[in-house]
Every structure is written in structure tokens, then in C-alpha cells.
Structure 1
Amino acid sequence: MDYETGRSTTADPASVTDRDSFGDFLEAVLGDLQVGGGELEWENSSLAAFLGALAAFAEARVVGRDDQDDASWRLFAEMIVAATGYE
């Protein structure tokens, strides 16, 4: 499948509630990158692009979300997902 822009990871941050589930989530992200097509399909599949997008997303704010400054394992997971596809 062709993408005009890259996609985000298919790993789902919804079940991330603690450190252990965050670790499981990161394993799913890595699996999507390595065997799920992420290297070719993600918007930010290189480390430099990913970290740049992660920094940009960390500094941005999502309209309508009040919990953006409350650090949580789930917020970290959502930021990882966003960084894989953030333009």
C-alpha cells in the first residue's frame, strides 16, 4: 500500500497503565517497526526523524485535552505513537 505521508505505528496505547504494560507496548512498537512494515511505512522510521517528531509533539498541545501536563505511562505511550507518524 502506498502512503502520501507515512503512517503511525499500529501498537495501541489504550492498555498502557503502568511500567510493565508500557514495556509490552514498546515491544509491540518495535515489532511493528521491524516486521510490521514500519521501516517502510512510518512517517518517522529513522531514529533522528522519530526523536525530532517526539520533541515536536512533546512541545505541542492537543486541543481539547486537559491532561497533557499530567505525566503517565499512557501519555508516554501516546507520545510514542504520535512520534512515529507526526509530520
Structure 2
Amino acid sequence: MHPAKVKREHVQRLTDLPNIGPAMAADLQMLGISRPEQLTGRDPYALYDELCAVTATRHDPCVIDVFISVVRFMDGGEARAWWAFTAERKGFLGEG
């Protein structure tokens, strides 16, 4: 869902989360995550590594940005566009 449309009190399904559409919801379900609250306190980088392992595919690093956005949101942060986390990811991974 587009971050501007997210209402925290209405988040019940994965697709109610910021930046999560049907495809990303399916990716999260492959990781055993079926409810938004299961993202609370998770490590977005570990989620990415697990997704890559489960699918035997190296996904675009922007997927990490999406995972950061939803974990932060579920940890109480504001709903923000996934690209707002790109600089953080690049800094954390030493990508300059």
C-alpha cells in the first residue's frame, strides 16, 4: 500500500502495510510471515538473506529497503516510502 494511505489502526493484512503489494506479501509469506505483527522486532537484513536463500535468487537490494520500511513501521515508526531507507541500507552495507 502507498505509505500516504496507510492507517496504523487499520493494518490487519500484509497488504495493509506501507510499500507492500501482492508480490511482496507473497515473498513475506514464503518466509512464514502471514500477519503484520510478525514483523515486529525483526531484522530486515536477515529477512532479505532468508528470502534470497528460500528462492535461490539474489533479489534486488531495494527489497531490503522495503523490509526496513515495514519493520520500522511495525516497531512504531511512521509510514514512509521504501526509497527513504536506501541511504541507510547503502551505509550499513558499505555501498557508499
What TM-score results when the alignment is normalised by the length of structure 2? Answer: 0.27
- Whichever structure has more helix as a proportion of its residues is 2
What TM-score results when the alignment is normalised by the length of structure 1? Answer: 0.29
